[in-house]
């Protein structure tokens, strides 16, 4: 490995573009200006420089630690620096549990309404059937009464007249019976149609289209896929709080927090809120904006606009 002082021979602007380390830090590093350096994330930046340019910072680290101990700056930095990592797994688990609870509630409502309407339709069908039977019986009874009335009014009647009269009465009974049966069949058909319409109406009322749309699967997190160690920098837009770390495995970031994301020059791919994958080749830093539940790739100018004119 090369001694860290070799950085004096580098083009510092190229170093800034490649590592996203601030130029003020690099100048202070070359001059060993410890009073300026302790305001930066020295250990994190040194790790990036050591990895990217194969530099040895052993003697520098010893001098810097000695400076911090002499000025009691180690205690101050440890008390002031608090890096918070979003509990992505817990958040995802809560979201999943909430969605499952909603689905179970909808299923329970469907079953309850189905049972309720089934009993109502069944009772209605039985009532109509009973009414039809009662109507047929009443018609037959009325015909019999008419027959008895005729027999009481006729004093003398021959056999031929009686046979004709019996035939007329029988025809009337059969005709009335057929009419009653036809009426009963029409009533049953109308009942079946009402049942079909009622069932269709119930299905539409139970699951509105708006609810089906809300249950569509939408990612609540942006998924980052990486193949090598990658430096990640995050700026929360609400407080402009900076956090940086190095990742060697895939990770996720929540989409409900507005923030800027800056990565190293390594290749990576992102699965966005619509479950679409976007690939970015190696060679230059990547910049992203997470806002209003969406993530998109932005330029350096757009990044500086959101970051108050600063590159990091």
For the segment 236-291, what is each residue's pLDDT rounded down to a tens digit?
A: 999 889 999 999 999 999 999 999 988 998 899 999 999 999 999 998 899 999 99
pLDDT tens for residues 156-211? 334 444 454 355 534 553 345 455 454 545 543 543 444 333 444 444 444 444 44
Burial of 115 (0-12, 13-18, 19+ CB in 10 A): exposed
CB 37 within 8 A of CB 64: yes
Return d(Cα 188, Cα 194) in angstroms, integer. Answer: 10
Same domain, 102 and 175: yes
Tally of CB atoms within 10 A around 281: 11
Q: Which residue has the higher pLDDT, 33 or 128?
A: 33
Phi, psi of 55 (to 5 degrees): -110, 145
Among residues 224, 236, 293, the alpha carbon closest in space to that of 260 is found at 236
More confident residue, 118 or 77: 118
pTM of the model: 0.34
Q: What is the number of domains present in the chain?
A: 3
Are the CB atoms for 279 and 226 separated by under 8 Å? no
* Co-location of 111 and 54 in the same domain: no
**Residue at a domain's end among 214, 245, 271:** 214
On whether both 249 and 284 belong to a single domain, the answer is yes
95 or 14, higher pLDDT: 14
* Residues 197, 100 share a domain: yes
Residue 312 placed within a domain: no
């Amino acid at each position: 490995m090369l001694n860290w002082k070799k950085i004096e021979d580098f083009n510092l602007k190229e170093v800034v573009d490649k590592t996203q380390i601030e130029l003020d830090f690099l100048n202070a590093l070359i001059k060993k200006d410890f009073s300026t350096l302790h305001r930066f994330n020295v250990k994190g930046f040194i790790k990036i420089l050591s990895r990217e340019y194969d530099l040895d910072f052993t003697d520098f680290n010893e001098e810097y630690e000695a400076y911090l101990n002499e000025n009691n700056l180690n205690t101050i930095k440890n008390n002031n620096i608090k890096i918070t990592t979003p509990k992505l797994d817990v958040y995802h688990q809560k979201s999943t549990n909430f969605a499952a609870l909603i689905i179970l509630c909808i299923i329970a409502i469907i079953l309850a309404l189905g049972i309720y309407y089934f009993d109502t339709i069944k009772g209605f069908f039985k009532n109509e059937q009973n009414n039809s039977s009662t109507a047929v019986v009443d018609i037959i009874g009325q015909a019999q009464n008419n027959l008895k009335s005729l027999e009481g009014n006729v004093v003398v009647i021959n056999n031929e007249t009686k046979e004709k009269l019996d035939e007329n009465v029988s025809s009337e009974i059969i005709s009335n019976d057929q009419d009653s049966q036809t009426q009963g069949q029409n009533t049953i058909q109308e009942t079946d149609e009402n049942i079909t319409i009622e069932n269709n109406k119930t299905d539409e009322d139970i699951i509105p289209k708006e609810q089906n749309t809300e249950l569509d699967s939408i990612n609540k997190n942006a998924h980052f896929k990486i193949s090598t160690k990658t430096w990640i920098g995050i700026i929360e837009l609400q407080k402009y709080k900076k956090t940086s770390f190095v990742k060697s495995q895939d990770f996720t970031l929540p989409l409900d927090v507005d923030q800027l994301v800056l990565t190293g020059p390594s290749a990576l791919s992102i699965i966005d809120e619509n479950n679409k994958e976007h690939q970015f080749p190696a060679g230059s830093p990547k910049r992203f904006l997470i806002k209003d539940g969406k993530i998109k790739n932005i330029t350096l100018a757009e990044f500086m606009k959101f970051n108050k004119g600063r590159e990091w």
